[in-house]
A and B are shown apart, each in its own frame.
Chain A
Amino acid sequence: DAKTTQPPSMDCAEGRAANLPCNHSTISGNEYVYWYRQIHSQGPQYIIHGLKNNETNEMASLIITEDRKSSTLILPHATLRDTAVYYCIVKTGANNLFFGTGTRLTVIP
């Protein structure tokens, strides 16, 4: 599976949009982009995934560039409960997830 690069940490004001970037310049044509988060020591939580089109669900939006070399996870109105480590992972099918170090998002009151 291709590797991803994320900033180690970001802050966001409560109520504002949190935009978390991810670079995956070596992504293959059949690899999806997945986003997970881990709040403290809880189990990782699935957020959203996409192949090439932008995606939106009740938790977040995923914007994938046309060349698929990078993506951005958008939390439209961040709350304190969104403070977590966010992981961008690329993979195919039912393969295992490779967790890097992710981005530690801190939502500030």
Chain B
Amino acid sequence: EPEVTQTPSHQVTQMGQEVILRCVPISNHLYFYWYRQILGQKVEFLVSFYNNEISEKSEIFDDQFSVERPDGSNFTLKIRSTKLEDSAMYFCASSGGRGQTSYEQYFGPGTRLTVT
């Protein structure tokens, strides 16, 4: 069964460094999302992406964040200058295949980002 994959599973970085989190969505999906979950807290929406542009973003997704679909398979989240409060699990999700009318989102296993 197709699934969303994410790499790396765990990333440790120093404050102020740039990180890139990678996701491979389900191959025929058209909508892509990033969410994050700070330890012990709720899953929070960051950004959605469709047709090579951001379709919606939350107030968390400020100028230090960016997303890109550099080729036909990868979907990346870049954090330019990491802060301690960026430590969280980051989940990628995808939905909506061509010709489909349902939009259930399928999530990857997450990347645990630890900023020291």
Q: Which residues of A line the B interface, CB within 8 A? A: 34, 38, 41-46, 49, 93-101
A residues in contact with B43, CB < 8 Å? 38, 44, 97, 99
- Work out how many contacts link A and B, with CB atoms closer than 8 A: 55
B residues in contact with A101, CB < 8 Å? 42
B102–A49 touching, CB < 8 Å: yes
Partner of A44, one of B48, B102, B103, B107: B107
A42–B42 touching, CB < 8 Å: no
A residues in contact with B106, CB < 8 Å? 46
* Nearest CB in chain A: distance from B49 CB, A: 11
Secondary structure dominating the interface of B: strand
Q: Which residues of B line the A interface, CB within 8 A? A: 4, 31, 33, 35, 37, 42-45, 48, 50, 55-56, 58, 89, 91, 93, 95-96, 102-110
6 contacts between A and B (CB under 8 A): A43-B93, A44-B105, A46-B106, A94-B50, A97-B35, A97-B105
Q: With A and B bound together, what is the CA distance between A46 and B48 in angstroms?
A: 18
* Nearest CB in chain B: distance from A78 CB, A: 22
B31–A94 touching, CB < 8 Å: yes
* Nearest CB in chain B: distance from A92 CB, A: 9
B91–A41 touching, CB < 8 Å: no
* Nearest CB in chain A: distance from B59 CB, A: 13
